Chains A and B, each alone.
Chain A
């Protein structure tokens, strides 16, 4: 099973700033099948990015996914108040799928 490690564990930023979240895989993610999710307290995860860089339906263009192989990044260009949440990466290139432990994006 591929292990995903997310960094940092917590990121403290202000609205309007740029956020860069990282996800490292223990083995190459086949087909760059890497997704990013946003989860707010008490809610289900919400799909943001799939295929490493394709935005899901209705996701604002301030969210950008990039990377390949074992190194992936989620960038939020200008933080809005509603962006403060926990973010998870998920690989689905090699079954079973696996999730990272999450990065908490908090207001500074």
Chain B
């Protein structure tokens, strides 16, 4: 049974960096048959995929165009986890952030999400 446990601050000041971590159990961050994603949800934007990392002979990262200049998703194989870093945040980045797994990812393509973390409400405010 795959489980994803998120952690990170719920309040970030404008212009600073939002950082969240997702610890994986029941699977491996370096599995060839899974991708590890960050998705956010807000009343104004709905559900929005932000990006993913996955390993298939080498590491791949894909990011949404809307955040591409500000985002980094990094795997940590020693702790079997992955992290989200979103810099230069504004109040528009206020949302519930989820980590999620994609089974059998296709390189350069999009996927469905079969396991999700519990969600973290991140508020951007001074």
> Of B46, B65, B109, B116, which contacts A44 at CB under 8 A?
B116
> Of B49, B114, B116, which contacts A56 at CB under 8 A?
B114
Chain A-chain B contacts (Cβ-Cβ < 8 Å), number: 54
Interchain CB contact under 8 A, A44 and B112: no
- Give chain B nearest CB distance to A53 CB in angstroms: 13
Interchain CB contact under 8 A, A95 and B108: yes
> Of B46, B62, B100, B116, which contacts A99 at CB under 8 A?
B46
Chain A residues touching B, majority SS: loop
Residues of B within 8 A of A44 (CB): 98, 100, 116-119
- Chain A positions 58 through 78: 1 when the CB is less than 8 Å from some CB of chain B, otherwise 0: 000000000000000000000
> Of A43, A92, A94, which contacts B112 at CB under 8 A?
A92
Does B113 lie at the interface of the complex (its beta carbon under 8 Å from any beta carbon of A)? Answer: yes
Residues of B within 8 A of A15 (CB): none
Does B11 lie at the interface of the complex (its beta carbon under 8 Å from any beta carbon of A)? Answer: no
Interchain CB contact under 8 A, A47 and B46: no
> Of B49, B65, B114, B117, which contacts A97 at CB under 8 A?
B49
> Of B65, B110, B114, B118, which contacts A47 at CB under 8 A?
B114
Residues of A in contact, count (CB < 8 Å): 25
Does A35 lie at the interface of the complex (its beta carbon under 8 Å from any beta carbon of B)? Answer: yes
Interchain CB contact under 8 A, A45 and B112: no
- Give chain B nearest CB distance to A74 CB in angstroms: 14
**In the complex, what distance in Å separates the CA atom of A98 from the CA atom of B45?**
11
Chain A residue with the shortest CB-CB distance to B111: A92
Binding site for A on B (CB under 8 A): 46-49, 62, 64-65, 98, 100, 108-114, 116-119
A-B contact pairs, 17 of them (CB 8 A): A35-B113, A43-B119, A44-B118, A47-B113, A47-B114, A90-B112, A92-B112, A93-B110, A96-B49, A96-B64, A96-B65, A96-B110, A97-B49, A97-B111, A99-B47, A99-B49, A101-B46
